[in-house]
Chains A and B, each alone.
Chain A
Amino acid sequence: MGDRMSADAIPGDVPSGDLVRRHRLSTRVWHAINALTLLVLLMSGLMIFNAHPRLYWGEYGANPDYAWLRVGSARSGPVEQGYLQVGRQRWDTTGKLGLWKDGDGRVQRRAVPGWATIPSRYSLAVARIWHLAFAWVLALGLLAYLVRSLVNRHLQRDIHITRGEWRPAHLWQDVRDHARLRFPTGQAARRYSVLQKIAYAAVLFVLLPLMILTGLAMSPGTDAWLPVSEVLGGRQSARSVHFLCAGALVGFFVVHMVMVVLAGPLNEVRSIVTGWYRLPKERRP
């Protein structure tokens, strides 16, 4: 089984520059499934958003009510613009959101352009089929991964943030190391840094569970027996939080990709695909 803790797999000291087992099978399989699942959920979700590109706080919210965020198009004189409005602030997003041209050069007034949605043409029904099917994959996948990671102690050993790591001095040192792009080398590279742990823990225990809970809160059938929307401050609040968490996950993805590129993309990609990771050589003091 390649499904073991790296430290157990290779006993004793491993000279830096050597290959070590870094990611367990369960981590790698879930990572691959989840990458695809989140992409499908994001793109089909953006199509669902196109059906009503306005966000509200509270229980109710429809066109006559105040929307804290909206995407649309507006004409002033001969000029038509696409816009994104948050509160009272409005940005011109012509060509990107609200008013854009499709592949055939036709002007479209949907909020999110076709290259970012599933399907690319407007279809709420098709987007819902994709979104609601893959929501099961996300929820059951997360559950299986968390249970497996508790049992094989991945969470306790690799994600758990120790008291020492929470110390402001330690946190600040890690922020400085990141800012200077000084990544750990040698044996230290086998462990996640505290900022990495915080990012992964936030995704595992905050963002993904909140996506699932706010998704459930929007279902009128579920809302009858599981009062999640009530806890979250109303169905439209749940919808807003769903959207904000999706944005936070996209933010995580961008930082994640930047870090992979900066830390050595081949080594990082190999480790998440095969599990094998080459420890970076130790710096000369």
Chain B
Amino acid sequence: MTLIVTRRGLIQTGMIGAGSLLLPGCDKIAQNPAVLDTLGQSEKLHRLTQRALGRNALAREYRESEMSPVFRANGSREVVDPAYRAQLAQGFANWALRIDGLVEQPLAIPLHALRTMPQRAQITRHDCVEGWSAIGRWQGPRLSMLLDIAGLKPAARYLVFHCADRYLGKPYYESIDLVDAFHPQTILAWAMNGKPLEEAHGAPLRLRVERQLGYKHAKFVSRIEAVASLAGLYGGKGGYWEDAEAYAWYAGI
């Protein structure tokens, strides 16, 4: 028994010793910006493959009996902006979604109009980049309908979702391309699980872009801007987490 323990101890010491010699070198490579940039090119491969094989595929929809009993909220769960808090207190009665940028007709659509337009309701699975999933029911107008009303200019390539919240002090935003913008399941949800969206889940309006990970589903959406390029916006990478920490812009995987 003593022998085994000693041996194991020796092996452990050896491994930790070898590790402490190897690790710093490997870790430098692991975090080298040029290496990460090269490996990060696989994001394009993911996007092109998925677009080639399932450009118009629909995300799976579930029955009510399959929904999560409790839908976890994460990211910003409340918004400190006083203008937002005033709107929240009034039930967003005087709130309007702005659509501008490269559009023929800039719009300001009141929340009550968004609620009375033709709607899409879907029970879908929300997959967080961290690994957890929750299933909920989302309802709202299709984004494509709003874009048809505003009329995209030919130069428009991306839609940027400006949000009312700040996360760790920086404004949250996200962006998607036109393939996802015109996808039938891409909606602006004002209702979740049969009730108006709660603040923790992004009231009054949350983007649902069902074939991508949770961080793309911008909460507290207040303005949608059509742009030709993402380069000039915020950190230039098309989203809060993309700017902050090298998360992929295309989050279909």
Contact = CB atoms under 8 A, between A and B. Distances in A.
Interface of A: 48-49, 51-52, 54, 56, 59-65, 103, 115, 118-121, 123-126, 128-130, 132-133, 136, 218-227, 230, 235-236, 239
Contacts of A119: 27, 30-31
Contacts of A124: 129-130, 245, 247
Interface string B3-32: 000000000000010011001001100110
A221 B54 contact: yes
B212 interface: yes
Given A220-B210, A220-B213, A226-B54, A59 B62 contact: yes
A6 to B, nearest CB: 34
A126 B135 contact: no
Given A115-B23, A119-B27, A136-B42, A62 B132 contact: yes
Given A128-B129, A129-B36, A115 B19 contact: yes
B133 interface: yes
Contact of B131 (A49, A126, A221): A49
Contacts of A130: 30, 39
Interface in B112-139: 125, 127-135
Interface stretch (B65-73, B147-155, B167-175, B224-232): B65-73
A260 to B, nearest CB: 16
Contact of A221 (B72, B132, B211): B211
A136 to B, nearest CB: 6
B198 to A, nearest CB: 15
Contacts of A126: 30-31, 36, 246
A51 B31 contact: no
Nearest to B58: A224
Interface size class of B (residues with CB under 8 A): 35 or more
Given A62-B134, A224-B54, A224-B60, A128 B42 contact: no
A226 B211 CA distance: 12
Contacts of A51: 129-131
Given A128-B248, A235-B127, 14 more contacts: A56-B132, A60-B133, A60-B134, A61-B132, A62-B68, A125-B241, A126-B31, A132-B42, A132-B253, A133-B42, A220-B59, A220-B127, A225-B50, A235-B125
B53 interface: yes
Contacts of B212: 220-221
B31 A222 contact: no
A125 B72 CA distance: 21
19 contacts: A59-B125, A60-B133, A65-B69, A115-B16, A123-B31, A124-B245, A128-B129, A128-B247, A129-B42, A133-B41, A219-B50, A221-B54, A221-B252, A221-B253, A222-B54, A225-B57, A226-B53, A230-B60, A236-B133
